[in-house]
Chain A
Amino acid sequence: QQQVKQSPQSLIVQKGGISIINCAYENTAFDYFPWYQQFPGKGPALLIAIRPDVSEKKEGRFTISFNKSAKQFSLHIMDSQPGDSATYFCAASVAPGAAGNKLTFGGGTRVLVKP
């Protein structure tokens, strides 16, 4: 059962363009929504994260938008650069507690930024 659905599976964007990746979840107990970035041959690394009490969070060129009623959240990469070419994963977890350490990942989106 895939609890976090991510789309698209891949996207190509020109340098300077905007990359948008979407995720949808079903479990209303999810309380924490991070995005991870993975380069070839490396493990995923935390990029940015949001809690459901805010609708948007921005860190540099990366912005998370969160829609609690629709159970959706998205990652926007502004002014995309070739160095942003990587696979991006959304994830979710419930509040801290017995199961609160467990992250459920989306299927991943491979982003290619063309120079």
Chain B
Amino acid sequence: DAGVIQSPRHEVTEMGQEVTLRCKPISGHNSLFWYRQTMMRGLELLIYFNNNVPIDDSGMPEDRFSAKMPNASFSTLKIQPSEPRDSAVYFCASTRGQGAYGYTFGSGTRLTVV
């Protein structure tokens, strides 16, 4: 089991540029979550999908953020245009079935916007 795979591990970009973060959930997991972690705000849920359908995107901070899950094995989180305040570690997590049991997190993408 390869776990939840995120890419890239680190991303440095200039303000105004488009950033795309990628996630491959564990095979067989049907729920996928995008979290953002900062010192000030801790772990924030941005959006989550169930069976590839977005269920709750109330945590997406602005229209600059968008997420897609075109199939059960791939999801993207896009920021366009990026701003310095978007600098954070972005985590993807997945789980199987109903309930929040046994989330498995990826290793995260550290995003720095300069």
For A32, A43, A45, A93, which residue has the most chain B Cβ atoms within 10 angstroms? A43
Interface size class of B (residues with CB under 8 A): 20 to 34
Contact at A108–B100, with CB atoms within 8 Å? no
CA distance A104 to B41 in the complex (A): 12
Q: B105 and A96: CB pair below 8 A?
A: no
Q: Is A95 an interface residue (CB 8 A)?
A: yes
A44 touches B105 (CB 8 A): yes
A105–B98 contact, CB under 8 A? no
Q: How far is the CA of A63 from the CA of B98 in the complex (A)?
A: 25
Pairwise interchain contact B100-A103, C-beta atoms closer than 8 A: yes
Give chain B residues whose Cβ lies under 8 Å from the Cβ of A89: 42-43
> Are A96 and B98 in contact (CB-based, < 8 A)?
yes
Docked-complex contact A43 and B91, CB < 8 angstroms: yes
Question: Distance (Å) between the CB of B107 and the closest chain A CB?
Answer: 5
Size bin of chain A's contact surface: 20 to 34
CB-CB under 8 A from A69, the residues of chain B are: none
Whether the pair B45, A104 counts as a contact (CB closer than 8 A) is yes
A43 and B50: CB pair below 8 A?
no
Answer whether A101 and B105 are a contact pair too, CB < 8 Å, given A44-B43, A106-B42. Answer: no
In the complex the two chains form, is B105's CB within 8 Å of A45's CB?
yes
- B48 and A101 contacting across the interface, CB-CB below 8 Å: yes
What residues of chain B have their CB less than 8 Å away from a CB belonging to chain A?
4, 31, 33, 42-43, 45, 48, 50, 55-56, 91, 93, 95, 97-108
What are 23 inter-chain pairs, A to B, with CB distance below 8 A?
Answer: A34-B101, A34-B103, A43-B4, A43-B91, A43-B107, A44-B91, A44-B103, A49-B101, A93-B99, A95-B99, A96-B99, A97-B98, A100-B98, A101-B50, A101-B95, A101-B100, A102-B33, A102-B48, A102-B100, A103-B33, A103-B103, A105-B43, A108-B43
With A93-B100, A102-B48 already in contact, 10 other A-B pairs whose C-beta atoms are closer than 8 Å: A32-B100, A34-B100, A41-B108, A44-B105, A95-B99, A99-B56, A100-B99, A101-B99, A103-B100, A105-B42
